[in-house]
Amino acid sequence: MKKSTECVQAGYEPKNGEPRVLPLYQSTTYYYETPEELAKLFDYPKLGHIYSRISNPTVSALEAKITALEGGVGAMACSSGMSATLFAVLTLANAGDNIISLSTIYGGTYNLFAVTLKKMGIETRFVTPDSSDEEIEKLIDERTKMFFAETISNPSIIVLDFDRYANICKKHSIPFAVDNTLTTPYIVRPFEFGANIVIHSSTKYLDGHASAVGGILVDGGNFEWDKNPRFKDFYTPDPSYHGTVYVEEGGNAAFILKARMQFMRDIGAIMSPFNAYLTNLGCETLHLRMERHSENALAAAEFLSSSDKVEWVKYAGLKTDKYYPLAKKYMDGKCGGMVSFGVKGGREEAAEFIKGLKLIKQVTHIADVRSCVLHPATTTHRQLSDEDLIKCGISNNLVRLSIGIEDKDDIIEDIKQALDKIKR
Ligand SMILES: Cc1ncc(COP(=O)(O)O)c(C=O)c1O
């Protein structure tokens, strides 16, 4: 199936007489006639549902849709993007291990890596997009378990050079995990460019309507876990799961099986069936929305570039943008709805602009059908020091716009009148 068809159809196939639309199975439990049947499920969880902390039919259908869209071998829907990222790390790393991450990432993820993982004994070694291959490779040791980056970084709008990082990861046999939230598989499928694990905050474009918080972890099935000395947990029996050997039980989907059977089972941050139902509904129009987000955002970025109230604009769809060649290479020039720009001046002028907007509302969110705005330095990234803000690519005058799917003339008119109100 082509991507657009997968958006609409993948993940649910009704049998004769069953509902045409994916049903909402709002049930925690599943009935089995005999103890033997249920016992078998504990040995082979892939055969059916036991309890909705581990899996649920509505949630599974969404997982199947995203697996198809990303071209992976399995997925696990989580209660948030943050929990999906945490599960990715915990499935790979134990206390005493380390991961490497680009520092230009969403502020919440930065904090998870820099502060919370540290408390769990997992160290994050941050690099910047300007770090050389040599500098990155120097940080890799036998306890390095993952390299993490975002396809388009939030909010610094840097496009990931997949080939470069995939080569480093391959050379050192470490998995390459990519947060594909801001692009979605409609625009880019990271597995085609060497990623091994994909993470989504489905709260954003996948749902697309700002209705359901969620996250999705996807297994590319393209990493050799077996016999890799870094990942003994994958090919030796897991005593906490009656001796299961994940590479034997899960085959090339060993990663996602381990994530579910160790961490979803023990922690339970699974997506609720209702949120999976809503997210699946959102995905049915993902292809249409991403085209319109990309078209509108390019128009807004072009307008901003022509304004004398604006110092700089970051949108990789602009031919003048530093990341335009990478956007062309990996995304066919479609860049989604996120645009960052620097208002001439600083925090005060950024606040004036936001107060002047009428249609575009200030919300702590991005990537839904409605255009919205935020000043990251004083909100989402508030917890970061000035030094860390710079590492994340955030200046005091950076305004983050998430361009929606309204009429682009209305969006531009709103931006124009708010810029006109700035006194400076
Ligand atoms: C790129 C990216 N990844 C992950 C997250 C975290 O996702 P959630 O808010 O669903 O936990 C966000 C949230 O804004 C994000 O922008």
pLDDT tens-digit series, residues 176-215: 999 999 999 999 999 999 999 999 999 999 999 999 999 9
Q: What is the mean pLDDT of residues 120-149?
A: 98
Q: In this model, does residue 423 exceed pLDDT 90? A: no
Contact 368, 210 (CB under 8 A): yes
Q: In this model, does residue 391 exceed pLDDT 80? A: no
CA distances from 289 to 65, 67, 178, 312, 320 (A): 17, 20, 22, 27, 25
Q: Is the alpha carbon torsion for 415, 418, 421, 424 positive or negative? A: negative
Query: Rounded to an integer, what distance in angstroms lies between the CA atom of residue 165 and that of residue 146?
Result: 11
Q: What is the mean pLDDT of residues 106-124?
A: 96
Instruction: Find the 365 Cα to ligand 1 centroid distance in Å.
Output: 9
pLDDT computed for residue 115 by the predictor: 96
* Among protein residues, the one whose CA lies closest to atom 6 of ligand 1: 81
Instruction: Find the 217 Cα to ligand 1 centroid distance in Å.
Output: 13
Range scoring the smallest mean pLDDT among 9-13, 53-57, 309-313, 382-386: 382-386
pLDDT computed for residue 368 by the predictor: 96
CATH 3.65.10.10 fits 286-421, yes or no: no
- Maximum alpha-carbon separation in the chain: 75
Question: Which tokens sit at 200?
Answer: 């989504």
Q: Are strands 361-362 and 197-201 parallel, antiparallel or unpaired?
A: unpaired
pLDDT computed for residue 252 by the predictor: 97
CA distances from 100 to 135, 136, 137 (A): 12, 8, 10
Best probe residue, ligand 1, of 79, 86, 104, 106 (max atoms within 8 Å of C-beta): 106
Residue 402 beta carbon below 6 angstroms from any ligand 1 atom: no
pLDDT tens-digit series, residues 263-274: 999 999 999 999
Q: Considering only CA atoms, which of 272, 255, 266, 62 is closest in space to residue 176?
A: 255
pLDDT computed for residue 43 by the predictor: 79
Range scoring the smallest mean pLDDT among 104-113, 166-175, 297-306: 104-113
pLDDT tens-digit series, residues 66-114: 999 999 999 999 999 999 999 999 999 999 999 999 999 998 999 999 9
Residue 179 beta carbon below 6 angstroms from any ligand 1 atom: yes
Range scoring the smallest mean pLDDT among 7-21, 38-52, 112-126, 394-408: 38-52
Q: In this model, does residue 424 exceed pLDDT 80? A: no
pLDDT computed for residue 302 by the predictor: 98
Query: Rounded to an integer, what distance in angstroms lies between the CA atom of residue 148 and that of residue 155?
Result: 16
Instruction: Report the CATH number of the 3-282 domain.
Output: 3.40.640.10
pLDDT computed for residue 390 by the predictor: 82
Percentage above 90 pLDDT, the chain: 90
Q: In this model, does residue 144 exceed pLDDT 90? A: yes
Residue 104 beta carbon below 6 angstroms from any ligand 1 atom: no
Would you list the domain boundaries of the chain? 3-282, 286-421
Q: At what angle do helices 57-70 and 273-283 cross, to 10 degrees?
A: 40
Same CATH fold assignment for domains 3-282 and 286-421: no
SS (H, E, C) the chain: CCHHHHHHHCCCCCCCCCCCCCCCCCCCECCCCCHHHHHHHHHCHHHCCCECCCCCHHHHHHHHHHHHHHCCCEEEEECCHHHHHHHHHHHHCCCCCEEEEECCCCHHHHHHHHHHHHHCCCEEEEECCCCCHHHHHHHCCCCEEEEEEECECCCCCCECCHHHHHHHHHHHCCCEEEECCCCHHHHCCHHHHCCCEEEEECCCCCCCCCCCCCEEEEECCCCCCCCCHHHHHHHCCEHHHCCECHHHHHHHHHHHHHHHHHHHHHHCCECCHHHHHHHHHHHCCHHHHHHHHHHHHHHHHHHHHCCCCEEEEECCCCCCCCCHHHHHHHHCCCCCCEEEEEECCCHHHHHHHHHHCCCCEECCCCCCCCCEEECHHHCCCCCCCHHHHHHCCCCCCEEEEECCCCCHHHHHHHHHHHHHHCCC
Q: In this model, does residue 46 exceed pLDDT 80? A: no
Percentage above 70 pLDDT, the chain: 100
pLDDT tens-digit series, residues 325-362: 999 999 998 999 999 999 999 889 999 999 999 999 99
Q: In this model, does residue 65 exceed pLDDT 80? A: yes
- Does this model's pTM top 0.85? yes
Ligand 1 atom closest to the CA of 380, numbered from 1: 14
Residue 108 beta carbon below 6 angstroms from any ligand 1 atom: yes
Ligand 1 atom closest to the CA of 202, numbered from 1: 10
Q: What is the mean pLDDT of residues 48-74?
A: 97
pLDDT tens-digit series, residues 276-287: 999 999 999 999
Ligand 1 atom closest to the CA of 82, numbered from 1: 11
Residue 82 beta carbon below 6 angstroms from any ligand 1 atom: yes
Contact 12, 23 (CB under 8 A): no
pLDDT computed for residue 295 by the predictor: 98
- If you average pLDDT over every residue of the chain, what do you get? 96
Query: Rounded to an integer, what distance in angstroms lies between the CA atom of residue 419 and that of residue 353?
Result: 6
Q: In this model, does residue 392 exceed pLDDT 80? A: no
Query: Rounded to an integer, what distance in angstroms lies between the CA atom of residue 22 and that of residue 202?
Result: 18
